Amino acid sequence: MLTAAPEIVAEGSGRLHDALKQVFGYERFRPLQEEIVAATLAGRDVLALLPTGAGKSLCYQLPALLRPGLTIVISPLIALMKDQVDSLEAMGVAATFLNSTLDEAEARSRLRELFAGRWRLLYVAPERLFAGSFFERLREWNVGAVAVDEAHCISEWGHDFRPEYRRLAELRKMLPQVPFLALTATATERVREDILAQLKLRDPAIFVASFNRANLTYRVADKEKPSAQVLAFLRERPHDSGIVYCQSRKTCESLAEHLSGHGIAARPYHAGLTDKQRSRNQEAFLRDEARVICATIAFGMGVHKPNVRFVVHHDLPKNVEGYYQETGRAGRDGLPAECLLLFRASDAAKQIGFLDDISDPAQRRIAERQLRQMIEYSETTSCRRHSLLAYFGDPSAAEGCGACDNCLVPRELRDGTVAAQKFLSTVIRARVAGFRGDATFGLAHHAEVLTGGDTERIRRWGHEKLTTWGIGKEHTRGEWQSIGRELLRLGYLRSSTGEFPTVDVTEEGIEVLRSRSQVMLAQLPERSTRAGKSSGDASAPRTPKGRAGDIVCDETLFEILRTLRREIADKLAVPAYIVFGDVTLREMARDVPTSRDALSAITGVGEVKLERFGDAFLDAIREYAATLSG
């Protein structure tokens, strides 16, 4: 195995840019990386919020080469550890991991080398950290820094809370003088505060990058025949690799089988598979043997496959944070990528029904609020990027991104005056007919009234006697709830914030009824005529050319280099991107370097990779260039 470049370690932190190029092959830092690296090298605790693809890993990997001692990286998933270590080894960095995939002999060997001071970085799960005598051994390993990846896992307010992360405060107590670096891609203000408190970070330097992933295009499509829609989407992208998220294990299996039956290399991934099956399917995806992985949310965290060109949500996610993180697995390399969500109102109703299984009232309220926010995102007619950024309080949020379906092909408006009058009238009449005349009800109840529902709750309140009972049968209950949510966004209704949110008519809504003013509503999703087609249709607009991060190059040469990369990676038994990422290959295919000096100027070509792989790629480029000149 290759070891870390000793001259960099010896010369300390004064050569950040030299180390960046020499080891990682980058000419410049991404936003906030240099500031984060400088802060942690200065011995400060750091909290860094960087979106997926913004280069969080480098923020602790580069300092590990420039400071004495061992950097411990706390990681929640085994997949991340192996992936990161493979990448570091390819660059000549002395890194290792300890987890349950190692046999006893290999684990003992790595422990001996830890005592010998061989490693610069050690990846370990929090469970392993506190198992047996491991925790006490840390005192003997000259720990120079601790990096806590996926730090949002420490907060019960986060979307992926893991109780074992709470014990990391014990590590802070054991290593009081060692700088801690907490990193995450998704955290609301409340989660950030929880991370600071739980990890006991002292006077931390806090860095919050924009959550905007400019290279991603966001779309929501009417969910009609999802298997056919996914198949059509993939056929339009025959060379692209991606993830399809499904809610159930059964859907993962059936969709992967459906796609495979139509000639698309797809594998399932979910908790019902054995560890061996999951590992095999994930490895096939990482090594491009499988083009598509059909997965539950059990898949993805820490999977560093930079050339994921799309993420499709077959089913409605439970919350915006999870959705943002899952879509963030597309386009980690900065090249354009697509995010498609298939949505229908009945899926939302099903998700709401699942909340009944949550016994803790406080947790149920949190889940309800998060699900309502996800539904609002799915149904919004305004800029989706603005909606996502506003959720995280990102000040860069602005309407009109030009890279979501609502901006690219705005949804057609219709005269919704009659529908608005029916809904607002029902809300007023239901309240007047309520006990003591002050009872309010939720969107679902009013939808039941409008469609003539015969439920126990309607009979208990006598709402089957309302003049608006059953006058809205032209729409389904789901459609009426969608109309109600749009009236909320327009300010004609307001919602309570209790455990069971109710709605009431605002002064603006009363004025609309009184004046019979026209109300324009977006076409209902099921009836949308956007561009004459459902946005989930295979012929829907692709990612616009010239989008952020796009690299225009010679596509023929790019394919030649991709084939060569795959051959080298197969011989090394590593994923193709460990050799070089797509950005590197596209720059090669754009600049056509024919000398070592020219190749070393390409992004991602460090000294070790130049030495290991440079000649093979130069030969391929020279051969192709000769065919053009000849």
Rounded to an integer, what distance in angstroms lies between the CA atom of residue 544 and that of residue 546?
6
Comparison of pLDDT for 530 and 251, the residue scoring more = 251
Q: What is the dihedral of CA 599, 604, 610, 612, to 10 degrees?
A: -140
The answer, yes or no, to whether residue 317 has pLDDT greater than 80, is yes
Count Cβ atoms below 10 Å from residue 547 Cβ, excluding itself. Answer: 17
Predicted pLDDT of residue 13? 42
- Helix or strand (DSSP H, E) at 482: helix 477-490
Predicted pLDDT of residue 527? 44
The answer, yes or no, to whether residue 299 has pLDDT greater than 80, is no
The answer, yes or no, to whether residue 566 has pLDDT greater than 90, is yes
In the chain, % of residues over pLDDT 90? 43
pTM (predicted TM-score): 0.75
Predicted pLDDT of residue 300? 63
The answer, yes or no, to whether residue 5 has pLDDT greater than 60, is no
- Helix or strand (DSSP H, E) at 607: helix 607-629
Q: What is the pLDDT of residues 81-124, one digit of tens each?
A: 888 898 899 999 999 998 877 888 888 898 889 888 889 999 99
Largest CA distance in the chain: 91
Count Cβ atoms below 10 Å from residue 305 Cβ, excluding itself. Answer: 24
Q: Where are the beta strands (DSSP E) in 370-482?
A: 413-415
Mention the CATH class of domain 555-629: mainly alpha
Chosen CATH of 414-522 out of 2.60.40.1180, 3.50.50.60, 3.30.70.60, 1.10.10.10: 1.10.10.10
Backbone φ and ψ for 76, nearest 5 degrees, come out as -80, -15
| Superfamily of domain covering 216-411 | P-loop containing nucleotide triphosphate hydrolases (3.40.50.300)
In the predicted model, what is the mean pLDDT of the chain?
85
Q: Left if phi > 0, otherwise alpha if psi is -120 to 50, otherwise beta: which for 592?
A: left
Rounded to an integer, what distance in angstroms lies between the CA atom of residue 581 and that of residue 575?
10
Predicted pLDDT of residue 355? 80
Poorest-confidence range of 160-174, 553-567, 594-608, 615-629? 160-174
Query: Same CATH fold, 414-522 and 216-411?
Result: no
The answer, yes or no, to whether residue 2 has pLDDT greater than 50, is no
Comparison of pLDDT for 258 and 224, the residue scoring more = 258
Domain ranges of the chain: 6-208, 216-411, 414-522, 555-629
- Give the model's confidence band at 9: pLDDT under 50 very low, under 70 low, under 90 confident, else very high: very low
- Give the model's confidence band at 210: pLDDT under 50 very low, under 70 low, under 90 confident, else very high: confident
Which of 65, 63, 123 shows the shortest CA–CA distance to 91?
65
Structure tokens at 438: 């002050």
- Helix or strand (DSSP H, E) at 174: helix 168-174
The answer, yes or no, to whether residue 348 has pLDDT greater than 80, is no
Q: What is the pLDDT of residues 375-431, one digit of tens each?
A: 889 988 889 999 898 888 887 766 778 889 988 888 778 899 999 999 999 999 888
Q: Domain 6-208, CATH 3.40.50.300 — does that match?
A: yes
Count Cβ atoms below 10 Å from residue 386 Cβ, excluding itself. Answer: 21
